[in-house]
Amino acid sequence: MKLNEEEKSILAGEQGRVPQLALQHQIAVGDFFGAEDFVPVSQAHIMADTESLGQAGVIWLEQLGEITEGQRQVRIPTITDPRGTDFAKSSVLKQDGWMLDLEQRAIDAFVRLGVSMTDTCINYQTIAAPTRGEHVAFGDTGVVIYSNSVCGARSNFEGGPSALAAGLTGRTPRYGFHLDSQRQATLRIRVDWTPQTLNDWGALGGVIGRLSANYWTVPVVEGLEGAPTSDQLKHFGAAMASFGSSALYHLVGITPEAYRIEDVGGDKLPVAHRVGEAEVKALQTAYAVTDEIDVVVFSAPQLSLYELREIAKLCDGKQFIKPMLAVTSPQVKPDADRMGFTARIEAAGGQVLSGMCFYQSYAREMADANGWKRLATNSAKLVNILGGYGYVPMLASMQRCIDAAVTGKLK
């Protein structure tokens, strides 16, 4: 890779041992992907839940924190994905003490490195949405696909060490979706039906993700009516990234790089697939395997204030016989408290959790401790993931999920 003078200085260790280690890692990544040089980035977002890190990963973070003590820390705004718990509600989740101890150690190490503990996967809704053309180094797949597609920013899926390295060096290898050529459409899809509910938008994203089935595939979608909301696109993209590893899509006349289909080269492609209501409903039906439920979870991605407002309205006058968990970000939770949404949800027997994500919080161990197996949610991303943790996940609308918490059955 071609290095400029500053990068040569970092690599020589003149700016500290930790930035040197970070750049060495980035050069290895860049060489693997054929990057010619680095591109400066303005923000970094780290996925580093302790379930994935394990003891070894946390020890590595602690060692970096010790080395950087008194030296330069991260040089650009660097934030974190959801953590593995809500410390205030860990007893509700029946998480063991060792999980909390490992989580606190990771947090302490990140703080020593100068990382801001935002604990969110919806930073584009709550902190600082990147702008069109802004180069960033983001990790969470839902964050990356939203930032690339809806905001028009530029990021690859950055692994935890790579995102932290970008925060420490202020740059990332220039390959993939940082390049104009990689952002052109490669798959043209015609949609004949426009969803309304969040679960339908997520299911549509899941269908298109399966059709794409490749990180480098860039679908361009035409035929949608009206402008989707931020929450609808949040569920749409998160599911597409989960079902298909997609990092970028274009919606003709909606997303910023595809004002016209020819702007992304879609006019040169044949319509490869047509997707309608039947395909969307078929994906959801595939998860409708039982009526009985043990728990309702709204998570993945974290909930916006508007989603919590809607849940609070549905909870009014209800009393749950099954646990209902609504997971949001630390930025949204205080507003939900102040506006009374939290109190209304918890008066019905629900729990509003902050700063975590359900599947990153030792989901299998929580299932065993609480006797949870049959789970209802309106998140297509969550149902795609939780089967691997031993759950029987079911996808339904927000209304049906709330009703299931009341009756114990998904009708």
Mean pLDDT for the chain overall: 96
Same domain, 193 and 174: no
pLDDT at 48: 84
Q: What is the largest CA-CA distance in the chain?
A: 65
Same domain, 236 and 266: yes
Same domain, 169 and 232: no
Between CA 273 and CA 320 the distance in angstroms is 42
pLDDT at 52: 87
Same domain, 249 and 130: no
Q: What phi, psi does 80 have (nearest 5°)? A: -120, 155
pLDDT at 290: 87
Same domain, 135 and 212: no
Per residue in 274-287, pLDDT (tens digit) is: 999 999 999 999 99
Residue 382 in 3-state DSSP?
helix
Between CA 4 and CA 121 the distance in angstroms is 33
Would 15 be classed as within a structural domain? yes
Q: How many domains does the chain have?
A: 3
Per residue in 350-395, pLDDT (tens digit) is: 999 999 999 999 999 999 999 999 999 999 999 999 999 999 999 9
Tokens of 289: 């395997």
Same domain, 73 and 206: no
Tokens of 207: 């269908």
pLDDT at 285: 95
Would 147 be classed as within a structural domain? no
pLDDT at 12: 97
Picking from 234, 260, 284, the residue at the C-terminal end of a domain is: 284
* Residue 371 φ/ψ region, left for φ over 0, alpha for ψ in the -120 to 50 degree band, beta for the rest: left
- What percent of the chain has pLDDT above 90? 96
- Long-range contacts at 225-230 (CB < 8 A, ≥ 24 apart): 225/194, 226/194, 227/254, 228/201, 228/254, 230/125, 230/150, 230/304
Would 58 be classed as within a structural domain? yes
CATH number of the CATH domain containing 322: 3.30.499.10
Task: Please tell me whether the peptide bond between 301 and the residue prior to it is cis, using omega within 30 degrees of 0.
Answer: yes
Picking from 284, 305, 335, the residue at the C-terminal end of a domain is: 284
CATH number of the CATH domain containing 165: 3.30.499
Same domain, 276 and 296: no
pLDDT tier at 68, thresholds 50, 70, 90: confident
Q: What is the mean pLDDT of residues 172-176?
A: 98
DSSP per-residue letters across 327-366: EE-TTTHHHHHHTTHHHHHHHTT-EEEESB-GGGS-HHHH
Same domain, 49 and 117: yes
Contact 341, 309 (CB under 8 A): yes
Picking from 284, 318, 345, the residue at the C-terminal end of a domain is: 284
Same domain, 188 and 261: yes
For residue 54, give its domain range. 5-140+153-178
Give the count of beta carbons closer than 10 Å to the beta carbon of residue 269. 17
Between CA 305 and CA 329 the distance in angstroms is 9
